[in-house]
Amino acid sequence: MFKKVNSTKNLYKPDAVIFDTDNTLYEYAPANEKAEKAVERKVNALLGVNSKLYRTTYAQSKKEIKKQLGMTASSHSRLLYYQRFLEILGFKAQLMTALDLEQTFWRTFLANAPLFPGVTQLLDYLRSKNILIAIVTDLTSHIQMRKMTYFNLEETFDAFVTSEEIGADKPDYRNFELVLNKLGLTKNNNIWMVGDNPYTDIIGARSIGATTFQKINNLEKIGEGKYMPDFVFSNFEEFYNNIINLIN
């Protein structure tokens, strides 16, 4: 599926294409589930905490950190989640254990997070046509850079922005203005934004006048009203096949 949703929007060759990361370049949920189960097993082995207690306490720690930090990159930090998790259980400042749990999470996560089919082909094609490509993503720079390195994309992008750099998650307009600045472009350039989330990606990209593409995964809904993208697609092969003639 690749279709126009906004009937007033036409496609023109872009000066740059900006990509979200999580659930856009790869599927987040399966990797996250396996990573959390790996941590659960380690917590049981190291601390004797059963699965039920682990899950309820972890959910509480995550909720507390997000409430404390709001929509910031650090609010997604597994290290902070596990630190708070240990504190809630009365283990106090078990710093090495918190670090160990975080590393277990991300090692398992990355080992189970392949890129969607067609991503590398699309990125290589855009580069071959001298179209700038960039990342704008939430979460901390260290983790998102680590993902790019794992994907062998560490030298692929012309600009890379995480919400940690400006102190607020998308859709905060500063994320998008910063990536334009890094690319040496302005709102007058033709920018495309590719992401899965109608709120963070579509609304955010509108702040720089970008043409928006929502990637639909599984049963996700197409954004409506002010969250409506200009185009939707379900896989990168379709995206590539529908833009190749336009760009050539």
Look up 20 and say whether it is catalytic. yes
Choice among 15, 20, 100, 169 that is catalytic: 20
Amino acid at 178: L
- Positive or negative torsion for Cα 190, 194, 200, 202: positive
What tokens were used for 96?
């090495």
Rounded CA separation 19/158 (Å):
12
Give the helix ranges, DSSP H, for the chain: 28-47, 51-69, 78-88, 95-111, 119-128, 141-150, 173-183, 204-206, 236-247
What tokens were used for 118?
């067609």
Choice among 22, 172, 196, 201 that is catalytic: 22
* Kind plus residue range of the DSSP H or E element containing 213: strand 211-215
Rounded CA separation 93/97 (Å):
9
What tokens were used for 26?
């790869």
* Active site (catalytic) residues: 20, 22
